[in-house]
Amino acid sequence: MFVAQEIQTPSVGVASTRVRSRGPAKKRSTTDAYQIDVREYERKGLLERVDREAATIGVDIPEEIDVQGESIELRSFVFEIGRRDTIPPGERERVDRAKRTLRRERLERLEPIEENTVDYERGEELAASIIGIDRALEALEGLDAPDPETEAKRQETADRKRWMRFLRQALGHDEVSGSHSGP
């Protein structure tokens, strides 16, 4: 470790600094050695951009993405699965596996931004790729949801059943036997 000492030179009247060693230097961790000085507000801006609820609006699904050294044609996979009306059981497993892989990759790309181990330019690249992954995940998650018309019909049917059950109870009709318990 080095210690700086300020000494006064009497003849010149100017202060100078002398550095002397005080034993062996402390070993720095590898993460400390690569700590990048991204301004805190820039890092927070990148994190906010990634976590913004509307971040994926207008964003295209990436054509292809590298996941753990393997290139995946993400856009064609999502469109291929999305074209089908229903997803067969074998494909369902494939879609679930893809979603898990994409979530894991998202976290791996987010970590360097959170830990401030990349410069701002690389952080921008990572943020853009994370938003693309989020867009693909939204598309894959949307496969499980029914279309709005089907959902509306299902809701209407459920509401009608609840209403009929309420009327039967209010009028004193027994649902099970169909008998009338009133006067």
Output the CA–CA distances (angstroms, integers) from residue 103 to 69, 99, 130, 134, 145, in the order listed: 16, 6, 10, 8, 19
Predicted pLDDT at 135: 93
Structure confidence at residue 174 (pLDDT) = 61
What per-residue confidence (pLDDT) applies to 24?
Answer: 42
What pLDDT is attached to residue 18? 39
Whole-structure pTM value: 0.58
H or E element that contains 67: strand 65-67
Q: Running along the chain, 183 residues long, what does each successive block of 10 average in pLDDT?
A: 42 40 39 61 91 86 87 89 78 88 94 91 93 92 70 83 88 61 50
